[in-house]
Amino acid sequence: MSRSILFVTGTRADFGKLEPLATATRDAGFAVSFFVTGMHMLARYGLTKVEVHRTPGVQVHEFLNQRPGDPQDMVLAKTVTGFSDFVKEAQPDLVVIHGDRVEALACALVCATNYIRCAHIEGGEVSGTIDEIYRHCNSKLASDHFVSSKDAARRVMAMGEPKAHIHAIGSPELDFHAGPSGVSLAEVKSRYDLPFDNYGICVFHPVTSEADSMGAQAASLFGALAVSGRPFVVIAPNNDPGSTAIFDSIDAVPKDQFRVLPSMRFAHFSELMKNASAMVGNSSAGVREAPFIGLPSLDIGTRQTNRAKSPSVFFADATDTGAIAEFLRAQWGKSYPRHDAFGGGSAASRFADILKAAPFWETSLQKTFHDTAS
């Protein structure tokens, strides 16, 4: 009987990273399923659970872990309870979590306390918010690590994780961007009613530690974009505290200059990025995917602090309207060489190859601290 691999997804963003891994694992002969929760289940964010259901050859289990306005500690508690009940029935051989979301933290905690093998994707990275705390907690709770770079591997080792359990495979979402999206720009524009021939992309998420100022930051950012006269496709923010204030600013933008979408299918978003003139905001897509595509991006605020080292990524505070205007003037429509520090598009095949090898399954689930200090 094939081993069972359970992927946990709570957002459209982490699904874009997990889907290539799940597909490669399924094709390698494993029984693949998804535990779908978080933003995927909320209508305001596009009810993106439907994207998971479109993945052929996998099973999907849905769990509603929150109501609008729930604080993150309550979301954590609900997810722990729901996931604990589910894995007792499903009994997966491996649970795969991604990144820094509270849903991943809840599921990693359940795995650790029940001695279930757990693989953490893209640990060892740095950023400027509470996301970094969650990410490092996930790394300590997980038994195995699939990281995006040698720097990330070094940081996970610094947390006491054994080198044999750390695999640098690159960022899995780049697998998708490395090839054709499978749709044309005309199809994207038709599906999402995009009237622009020349456009930028804006994705601006709340920073939980700055929730009180997110309204002012969003008002300044979207005000600067409006003054520029440049057309933008705006993707709605995630549901962290502070998102309501960002939605208030988005609701006020000129409708003929901005096309606001709750979400996009990943293939369509990839094609949209490949044909954009610039990207603005604080999404990881701006500091990871945009450089890989060669798209100039302006990283706003603290959410991705210290995460980007590409020549095509620029930085500004949300209130620095002069810097935002200068970026749009100088970088709009430029193209940069592909930045491949986070992989070249082969993460999924490398992931599947590691899971197919017997040594991966033979390591102990009793964790010990491996001190790398000299």
Burial class (CB in 10 A: 0-12, 13-18, 19+), 51: buried
**C-alpha distance from residue 229 to each of 150, 249, 373 (Å):** 41, 17, 54
- 300-314 confidence digits (pLDDT tens): 998 887 776 789 999
Give the per-residue pLDDT at 374: 46
- Report yes or no: 30 and 108 within 8 Å, Cβ to Cβ: no
Give the per-residue pLDDT at 326: 97
Give the per-residue pLDDT at 320: 96
**Domain spans of the chain?**
4-177+344-362, 185-331
What is d(CA 13, CA 99) in angstroms, rounded to the nearest whole number? 10
What is d(CA 192, CA 71) in angstroms, rounded to the nearest whole number? 32
Check for a shared fold between 4-177+344-362 and 185-331.
yes
Whole-number CA gyration radius for the chain: 20
Torsional sign, CA 272, 276, 281, 283:
positive
What angle in degrees, to the nearest 10, is found between the helix axes of 266-274 and 12-27?
110
Q: Which own/partner contact pairs does 193-196 have at CB distance under 8 Å and 24+ positions apart?
A: 193/259, 194/233, 194/259, 195/231, 195/259, 196/231, 196/233, 196/259
Give the per-residue pLDDT at 175: 85
- Report yes or no: 41 and 49 within 8 Å, Cβ to Cβ: yes
Tokens standing for 199? 């456009």
- Which residues of the chain register pLDDT less than 50? 374
Per-residue 3-state assignment (H helix, E strand, C coil) for the chain:
CCCEEEEEECCHHHHHHHHHHHHHHHHCCCEEEEEECHHHHCHHHCCCHHHHHCCCCCEEEECCCCCCCCCHHHHHHHHHHHHHHHHHHHCCCEEEEECCCHHHHHHHHHHHHCCCCEEEECCCCCCCCHHHHHHHHHHHHCCEEEECCHHHHHHHHHCCCCHHHEEECCCCHHHHHCCCCCCCHHHHHHHCCCCCCCCEEEECCCCHHHHHHHHHHHHHHHHHHHHHCCCEEEECCCCCCCHHHHHHHHHCCCCCCEEEECCCCHHHHHHHHHCCCEEEECCHHHHHHHHHHCCCEEEECCCCCCCCCCCCEEEECCCCHHHHHHHHHHHCCCCCCCCCCCCCCCHHHHHHHHHHCHHHHHCCCCCCCCCCCC
Domain 4-177+344-362: assigned CATH number: 3.40.50.2000
Residue with tokens 């021939």: 197
Strands 278-281 and 200-203, bridge-based pairing: parallel
Tokens standing for 94? 């491996």
What is d(CA 49, CA 39) in angstroms, rounded to the nearest whole number? 8
- 49-75 confidence digits (pLDDT tens): 999 999 999 999 999 999 988 999 999
Architecture of the domain whose range is 185-331: 3-Layer(aba) Sandwich (3.40)
What is d(CA 146, CA 182) in angstroms, rounded to the nearest whole number? 27
Neighbours of 28 (CB within 10 A): 17
